[in-house]
């Protein structure tokens, strides 16, 4: 993750001395990673830049707890994911999705899914992503996180384990339950569309 | 697998193919704001650790207190056993 020119050890040493330049370098180096995580798990009505800022302040404030046992990118990922989870938990209302809330494109994609067994066209990818994100808003934060990582971002179980610190059994069981719940929400939406 | 599973699978596969947002450059002034926030927050989460320590101490003290109350209730209400009754009977009255 770290660029060849970036000396993470020197940077960490600087952070422990509370060196501002080291902090700026650290932020610049890890911004793409944090932004990617924040964008994937962003709660509604939260500005991504604000959440990134919260994540980085947490990381820098707790840098003394980084033991070096795991790569810094994994440690940063865990803090970013936990911060997003907390933000999602704070957003306690999980909206109920209605067919009438869908755009024309979204309704067309769902009708297409119901009428044809073929894979959706590549043009539909962005619309499909919007639909899935809307469906995911009905899941609990951890379930939503798992579905996003496993099904949308192509993480393996091991990748999820590294990024979250959860064990494989927990990930499997929770992913299964999350999928069941997602299926239920999807079914209810489709039933409403048929009325 | 039911048809609905296939539909959901196809929807998820299609959504997974959506082109992710490009990794943006750090916004102007972002690093400065983070560094200011970090410096303003002070060194580490000292207050958080203290709160955690106090909370654990309080819970520990509460557990000990409950155990003590439970133990004394048990000993106060328990019927004296046979050996205790004999000892009480055998103890001279002036020593009791």
Mean pLDDT over residues A53-80, rounded?
Answer: 91
Q: How far away is chain A from the Cα of B86, in angstroms, using its nearest Cα?
A: 59
Q: How far away is chain B from the Cα of A53, in angstroms, using its nearest Cα?
A: 6
Pick from A174, A98, A190, A166: nearest CA to A138: A98
Query: Could you tell me the pLDDT band of residue B1, with boundaries at 50, 70 and 90?
Result: very low
- How many other C-beta atoms lie within 10 A of the C-beta of residue A84? 25
Window 110-129 of A, Cβ < 8 Å to B: 110, 113-114, 117, 119-120, 122, 124-126, 128-129
CB contact under 8 A, A57 and B38: yes
Query: Is residue A27's pLDDT more than 90?
Result: yes
pLDDT of residue A65: 86
Query: Is residue A103's pLDDT more than 60?
Result: yes
Q: H helices of chain A, where?
A: 8-16, 20-40, 48-61, 72-90, 104-115, 125-136, 141-147, 157-164, 168-194
Of residues A182 and A91, the one with the higher pLDDT is A182
Q: Which residues of B touch A64 (CB under 8 A)?
A: 44
Contacting residues for A118 by C-beta, under 8 A, at least 6 apart:
none
Query: Is residue A79's pLDDT more than 90?
Result: yes
Cα–Cα dist A58/A63, whole Å? 8
- The reply to whether A44 touches chain B by the CB within 8 Å rule is no
CB contact under 8 A, A190 and B4: yes
Q: Kind and range of the H or E element at B82?
A: helix B82-90
Q: Choose among A36, A133, A187: nearest Cβ to B23.
A: A36
Q: Choose among A32, A129, A147: nearest Cβ to B18.
A: A129
pLDDT exceeding 70 applies to what percent of chain A?
A: 93
Q: What are the phi and psi torsion angles at B25 (to 5°)?
A: -70, 160
CB contact under 8 A, B8 and A24: no
pLDDT of residue B21: 65
Chain B, nearest residue to A121 by Cα = B14
pLDDT of residue A24: 93
Query: Is residue B3's pLDDT more than 60?
Result: no
Pick from A105, A155, A151: nearest CA to A131: A105
Cα–Cα dist A17/A33, whole Å? 24
- Rounded to 5°, the CA angle B65-B68-B73 comes to 125
pLDDT tens digit string along A146-173? Answer: 999 998 888 899 999 988 888 999 999 9
Query: Could you tell me the pLDDT band of residue A192, with boundaries at 50, 70 and 90?
Result: confident
Cα–Cα dist B13/A87, whole Å? 27
Query: Could you tell me the pLDDT band of residue B93, with boundaries at 50, 70 and 90?
Result: low
- The reply to whether A162 touches chain B by the CB within 8 Å rule is no
Q: Which residues of A touch B28 (CB under 8 A)?
A: none
pLDDT of residue A88: 84
CB–CB of A80/A55 below 8 Å?
yes
Residue B4 is encoded by which pair of tokens?
């609905």
Stated length of chain B? 96
Query: Is residue A102's pLDDT more than 80?
Result: yes
* pTM for this entry: 0.68
């Amino acid at each position: 993750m770290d660029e060849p020119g970036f000396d993470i050890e020197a940077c960490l040493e600087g952070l422990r001395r509370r060196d501002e330049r080291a902090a700026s370098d650290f932020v610049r180096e890890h911004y793409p990673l944090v932004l990617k995580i924040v964008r994937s798990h962003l709660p509604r009505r939260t500005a991504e830049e604000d959440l990134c800022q919260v994540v980085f302040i947490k990381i820098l404030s707790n840098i003394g707890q980084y033991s070096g046992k795991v790569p810094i990118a994994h440690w940063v990922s865990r803090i970013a994911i936990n911060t997003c989870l907390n933000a999602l938990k704070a957003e306690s209302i999980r909206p109920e999705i209605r067919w009438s809330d869908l755009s024309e494109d979204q309704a067309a994609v769902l009708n297409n899914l119901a009428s044809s067994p073929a894979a959706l066209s590549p043009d539909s990818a962005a619309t499909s992503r919007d639909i899935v994100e809307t469906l995911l808003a009905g899941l609990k934060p951890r379930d939503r996180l798992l579905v996003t990582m496993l099904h949308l971002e192509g993480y393996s179980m091991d990748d999820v384990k590294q990024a979250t610190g959860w064990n494989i059994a927990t990930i499997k069981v929770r992913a299964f339950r999350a999928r069941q719940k997602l299926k239920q929400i999807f079914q209810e939406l489709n039933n409403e569309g048929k009325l | 697998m039911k048809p609905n599973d296939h539909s959901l699978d196809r929807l998820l596969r299609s959504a997974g193919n959506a082109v992710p947002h490009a990794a943006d450059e750090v916004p102007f002034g972002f690093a400065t704001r983070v560094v200011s926030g970090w410096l303003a927050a002070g060194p580490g989460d000292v207050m958080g650790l203290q709160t955690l320590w106090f909370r654990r101490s309080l819970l520990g003290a509460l557990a000990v207190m409950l155990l003590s109350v439970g133990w004394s209730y048990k000993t106060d209400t328990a019927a004296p056993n046979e050996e205790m009754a004999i000892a009480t009977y055998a103890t001279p009255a002036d020593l009791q």
